[in-house]
Structure 1
Amino acid sequence: MDPRSEVLLRQADLFQGPLLIAGAAADGLLGQLPQAQAWTWHAGDHGWLQQRFAGRSHFGVDVPEAAFDAAVLCLPKSRELAVYLLNALAALLAGRSLYLVGEKRGGIEGAAKLLQAFGKPRKLDSARHCQLWQVTVDHAPEATPLDSLAQRFELALDDGPLQVISLPGVFSHGRLDRGTALLLQHLEHLPVGHVLDFGCGAGVLGATLKRRYPQSQVTLLDVDAFAVAASRLTLAANGLQGEVISGDGIDAAPDELSAIVSNPPFHTGVHTDYQASENLLLKSAKKLVKGGEMRIVANSFLRYQPLIQQALGNCETRAEGDGFRIYRAIRG
């Protein structure tokens, strides 16, 4: 069980009424809190929870329309996202309790200070390298629209400027990361057809691909609901059409792809996790048509080349720079 869930169960008497657990982990916590419901923006966690606790998990970027008398936020990695989520929950909890739980190495002590905007916070527990805080919402804020927290920036590309719209919690929020910057320079001569931007984030690659290959169908896929929302905003800002879907890894992608382009993720929360990236590499052959191509960027220290060779039988380093490598492989 997630250590944050274990801390909540140490104080289970506080959570027996109608409760919303925001950022709930994929574990058995709901089974021990019968009136609790989960809100998550991670498609994999939502799928796991729905399978085991049907109707008690909600997925998306907005507070679900569920009845609750108190709420717990499991601290996310992004401080900007934590601010949005706490504000959204506190706006609905005037006079009631808002809880914050998180790991010490995830910054829970600093994040707990955010509760001061709503009342006088107090620490309830410290265990499992986590802390649990509570505040009675004496000063309920006005809900802040998510769009108002978007960060917009412009990329100067060879075929004209690209408008990018990023949302709190999205990878490389408000800026272009170095890996994607390198990959943007090496998108030439991709097969035309159905192209996938895997782990799309704010949609930089997907939007660029659609503009560069207008005759191709472009699908953007991410596990995170905030990334999906940001990608849709980025496509709209540039007048581009593309399918944006949420799903847990490459298994959620369409079949018969002519190309997979990605700056694959390998971090989840405060823990490092390579599973999504490794699954992408190992299962790419099942998603690509014969002659289809995978082109990805990765940190140079990641040993992805053997996995790509294992899956597709070939792999070349297309470019290297700034601590990153571009890998290219063709399905035979």
Structure 2
Amino acid sequence: MTTQFSAVDIDLTLNRYPAKQASNLQAWDAADEHLLKHLVEHKLADVRTAIINDSFGALSTALLKYQPSRAITIETDAKTSQLGTLHNFECNGINATGVQWCNSRELLPASTQLVLMKLPKNLNYFAHQLDRLSQTLPQGTQVLIGAKAKSINKSLLAVIAKHLGQASASLAWKKTRVISCISDGVKRPLPSESRWTVPEYQLTLSNLSNVFAANKLDIGARIMLENMPAGDFKSVIDLGCGNGVLGLRAKQRYPDAQIHFVDDSEMAIASAQQNWQLNGHKIDDACDDSVSFNWDDCLTHLDAKIIPDLVLCNPPFHQGEAITDHIAWQMFLDAYHRLDNGGILHVVGNRHLAYHVKLKRIFHNCTTVAANGKFVILQAQKRANTAPMTDNTVPSH
């Protein structure tokens, strides 16, 4: 993994998160460099700056290295982004005590005078972010958006104009462009979450804009719902829960079980919590241990008292724009270490991802439960007196 960053006379050591992943991916891209280059060349004033969609803190770290006095607010939906940014601050001696944090459902401080932003993969989420910016930014505020040149077209510029203000793109540099937008000061209404039903399971679901499968049940979740494991489970984790549909079905199948929802996306956790209540379940108080909602990097910070006998998992195979299997590795390893002896990890994935190889290396066993032309459901059981063949590392293959 390349970790040495150098741009506009700023030299840093930057890691992806978690740093232990074995991959050739780096923690920044040319769009980060282009935004910094634009900032320096145009001598933009040292004003309160919001940084949005900064995957692992490359922009935030570089900006504070270049101008330590700059007041910044960092907005992110991903816990791994927050943790990665904090790690890179520490590695580069950045004093982060003055940094403000907000999630992607909160409005930026009214004092924001400049916005630096990376274009996210999900354009519905991008439009939602622009609408939220319109709620806060006064007329004339500059918003700079870094992206691959191939992602920028008239349609994208029209979306920005519709949701925030007129925009134009710079010349290409290292196959990237910087979009300059000036807020028009018009407040747009915030979009409502999408809502639909899954009648065969008597479920109603809603999704916020950055939650996977925004307005329908994805086919991986569907085959998982059709093949839930039999058993009298008492503690169930929906790992990578998205809108929480697997955890909700688990509560139907195992009514006495504690259900724990975990996801890297704060919007996913908010959607899961809303769907829990939407489907007739209560969240009584802080002492209620029958359900929990955890914005986390896999199971890194989950309460140590939670020892599941079932983990349900529909792993992502990308992180932002990068295709990677390290998240699945970490999910499987975390599940192994958390499960009670005899506990089960129940996984759905695309057939070509060969998750059975990973599960056998970790659990020493793997059973195919169901399969169709695209997906396979696999089950691995934690057995006493065994240790994973892969431990404390996240190999790429």
Give TM-score scaled by structure 2 length.
0.77
Corresponding residue of 2:37: 10
Instruction: Please say if residues 37 and 56 of structure 1, whose CA atoms lie closer than 8 Å, have aligned partners that are also in contact.
Output: yes
Corresponding residue of 2:50: 20
Whether 2:74 is the aligned partner of 1:38: answer yes
Instruction: Please say if residues 297 and 326 of structure 1, whose CA atoms lie closer than 8 Å, have aligned partners that are also in contact.
Output: yes
Work out which of the residue numbers 126, 132, 138 in structure 1 matches 2:178: 132
Instruction: Please say if residues 26 and 48 of structure 1, whose CA atoms lie closer than 8 Å, have aligned partners that are also in contact.
Output: yes
Structure 1 residues 19 and 143 mapped into 2: Cα distance closer, same or farther (>3 Å)?
farther
Aligned length: 326
Whether 2:183 is the aligned partner of 1:142: answer no
Whether 2:356 is the aligned partner of 1:315: answer no
Measured against aligned partners, the alpha-carbon deviations of 1:147-184 in whole angstroms (never above 9, x if no partner) come to x4211111123xx4100111112111111111110010
Corresponding residue of 1:111: 156
Work out which of the residue numbers 35, 38, 50 in structure 1 matches 2:86: 50
Q: Distance in 2 between matches of 1:31 and 1:78?
A: 24
Q: Distance in 2 between matches of 1:180 and 1:193?
A: 22
Work out which of the residue numbers 343, 350, 360 in structure 2 matches 1:299: 350
Q: Distance in 1 between matches of 2:187 and 2:55?
A: 27
Q: Secondary structure at the match of 2:47?
A: coil
Shift in Å at residue 266 of structure 1?
1.1
Work out which of the residue numbers 231, 253, 257 in structure 1 matches 2:308: 257
Instruction: Please say if residues 108 and 133 of structure 2, whose CA atoms lie closer than 8 Å, have aligned partners that are also in contact.
Output: no
Instruction: Please say if residues 74 and 100 of structure 1, whose CA atoms lie closer than 8 Å, have aligned partners that are also in contact.
Output: yes
Corresponding residue of 2:147: 102
Q: Distance in 2 between matches of 1:291 and 1:232?
A: 29
Work out which of the residue numbers 168, 182, 189 in structure 1 matches 2:209: 168
Q: Distance in 1 between matches of 2:364 and 2:98?
A: 43
Q: Secondary structure at the match of 2:353?
A: coil
Identity %: 22
Instruction: Please say if residues 200 and 221 of structure 1, whose CA atoms lie closer than 8 Å, have aligned partners that are also in contact.
Output: yes
Instruction: Please say if residues 257 and 289 of structure 1, whose CA atoms lie closer than 8 Å, have aligned partners that are also in contact.
Output: yes
- One-letter amino acid matched to 1:9: L
Structure 1 residues 273 and 63 mapped into 2: Cα distance closer, same or farther (>3 Å)?
farther
Work out which of the residue numbers 256, 270, 275 in structure 2 matches 1:229: 270
- In proportion to residue count, which structure has more strand? 1
Measured against aligned partners, the alpha-carbon deviations of 1:178-230 in whole angstroms (never above 9, x if no partner) come to 11100101113145121100111111111111122121000010001111111
Corresponding residue of 2:111: 67
Q: Distance in 1 between matches of 2:342 and 2:97?
A: 41
Instruction: Please say if residues 107 and 135 of structure 2, whose CA atoms lie closer than 8 Å, have aligned partners that are also in contact.
Output: no
Unaligned runs of 5+ in 2: 1-27, 90-95, 283-290, 384-397
Instruction: Please say if residues 220 and 348 of structure 2, whose CA atoms lie closer than 8 Å, have aligned partners that are also in contact.
Output: yes
Structure 1 residues 285 and 168 mapped into 2: Cα distance closer, same or farther (>3 Å)?
same
Shift in Å at residue 65 of structure 1?
3.4
- One-letter amino acid matched to 1:247: D
Q: Distance in 1 between matches of 2:244 and 2:97?
A: 31
Q: Secondary structure at the match of 1:8?
A: helix
Q: Secondary structure at the match of 1:317?
A: strand
Structure 1 residues 143 and 65 mapped into 2: Cα distance closer, same or farther (>3 Å)?
farther
Structure 1 residues 298 and 190 mapped into 2: Cα distance closer, same or farther (>3 Å)?
farther
Q: After the TM superposition, which residues 189-208 of structure 1 pair with which residues of structure 2 at under 5 Å, given as runs?
A: 189-208=230-249
Q: Bigger shift: 233-242 or 178-187?
A: 233-242
Structure 1 residues 274 and 260 mapped into 2: Cα distance closer, same or farther (>3 Å)?
same
Instruction: Please say if residues 107 and 136 of structure 2, whose CA atoms lie closer than 8 Å, have aligned partners that are also in contact.
Output: no
Unaligned runs of 5+ in 1: none
Q: Distance in 2 between matches of 1:314 and 1:41?
A: 35
Whether 2:59 is the aligned partner of 1:29: answer yes
Shift in Å at residue 327 of structure 1?
0.2
Q: Distance in 2 between matches of 1:278 and 1:14?
A: 42
Structure 1 residues 151 and 72 mapped into 2: Cα distance closer, same or farther (>3 Å)?
same
Q: Distance in 1 between matches of 2:276 and 2:37?
A: 45
Q: Bigger shift: 195-204 or 72-81?
A: 72-81
Instruction: Please say if residues 75 and 108 of structure 1, whose CA atoms lie closer than 8 Å, have aligned partners that are also in contact.
Output: no
Q: What CA RMSD, in Å, does the superposition of the two structures yield over aligned residues? A: 1.9
Shift in Å at residue 18 of structure 1?
1.3
- One-letter amino acid matched to 1:128: K
Measured against aligned partners, the alpha-carbon deviations of 1:28-60 in whole angstroms (never above 9, x if no partner) come to 422332323321111011122234234525242
Q: Bigger shift: 269-278 or 288-297?
A: 269-278
Q: Distance in 2 between matches of 1:298 and 1:57?
A: 37
- One-letter amino acid matched to 1:116: A
Instruction: Please say if residues 50 and 108 of structure 2, whose CA atoms lie closer than 8 Å, have aligned partners that are also in contact.
Output: no
Shift in Å at residue 16 of structure 1?
3.2
Whether 2:221 is the aligned partner of 1:180: answer yes
Work out which of the residue numbers 265, 271, 281 in structure 2 matches 1:240: 281
Instruction: Please say if residues 297 and 324 of structure 1, whose CA atoms lie closer than 8 Å, have aligned partners that are also in contact.
Output: yes
Instruction: Please say if residues 191 and 292 of structure 1, whose CA atoms lie closer than 8 Å, have aligned partners that are also in contact.
Output: no
